[in-house]
Amino acid sequence: MATRAVTPVYAPNGQMHAVLVQWAGLTFASTDDGAAFEGADWADRTVHATGTFGAGGAVTLQGSNDGTNWATLNDPQGTDIVLTAAAPMFVIVENPRYVRPLVTAGDGTTSLAVSVWARRPR
């Protein structure tokens, strides 16, 4: 398993109320995960994945309160957030201390980027 770096990009003009968190280069070849992003104070979050999913490609969004034990996060309908195509975006219901993506399926062509747009409540 390779852990891909997380890149936070804060809102323009020094506004610290919103951030785009990105993980790039996630592949199924080594069942990649993303480095944990600590962001419990970013309560409103939406996740999106882009790239080549390949045959059966999927990336699961996970959360943890200790950075060691991970659980699959859910959308507002209580469904596990497992992205299998670039089109859907999901709101994240839970607000754990850490968030990361984990590639859970795919083939040799699977190459994904995952982003989470988050903002602090005002």
Domains of the chain (ranges, CATH numbers) = 3-119 (2.60.120.10)
Side-chain half-sphere exposure of 69, counting CA atoms within 13 A = 2
Cα–Cα dist 2/29, whole Å: 9
Whole-prediction pTM: 0.91
Q: Cα–Cα distances in Å, from 99 out to 31, 49, 80, 107, 109?
A: 17, 14, 14, 24, 25
Cα distance from N-terminal residue to C-terminal residue, the chain: 38
pLDDT tens, 4-31?
Answer: 999 988 877 666 788 899 999 999 977 8
Hey, what amino acid is at 30? S
pLDDT of residue 15: 66
